[in-house]
């Protein structure tokens, strides 16, 4: 299902992507990261932030998705105890 969602992200249909995401019985970190990337890539930062905030588990890749594209959340990453790696900078 993630691959189908990635296809919709690639063509910019984030509403369909979000529908698939919402219907997923179990979401993995990669699913959240893909959604965040899609929203950041299209400039929908508030939607990216909502998905990010709803993540039960964040990784350095989750933060890097925001940081790399818009330079956001470095301080928050450190505050949550997640040490940045080379992907984050």
| 74 occurs within a structural domain | yes
pLDDT tens column, 29-52: 988 998 888 888 777 888 888 999
| 87 occurs within a structural domain | no
| 30 occurs within a structural domain | yes
| Residue range 60-86: mean pLDDT, rounded | 70
Chain mean pLDDT for the chain = 76
Provide long-range contacts, Cβ within 8 A and 24+ apart, for 46-55.
47/14, 55/29
Counted domains in the chain: 1
| 23 occurs within a structural domain | yes
| 89 occurs within a structural domain | no
pTM above 0.85, yes or no: no
Q: What distance in Å separates the CA atoms of residue 63 and residue 70, rounded to the nearest whole number?
A: 11
Which residues span the domain enclosing 41? 2-79
| 84 occurs within a structural domain | no
């Amino acid at each position: 299902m993630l691959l189908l969602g990635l296809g919709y992200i690639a063509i910019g249909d984030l509403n369909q992507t979000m529908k698939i995401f919402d219907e997923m019985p179990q979401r993995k970190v990669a699913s959240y990261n893909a959604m965040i990337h899609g929203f950041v890539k299209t400039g929908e930062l508030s939607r990216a932030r909502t998905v990010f905030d709803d993540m039960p588990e964040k990784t350095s890749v989750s933060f890097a998705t925001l940081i790399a594209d818009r330079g956001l959340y470095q301080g928050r990453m450190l505050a949550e105890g997640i040490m940045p790696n080379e992907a984050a900078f």
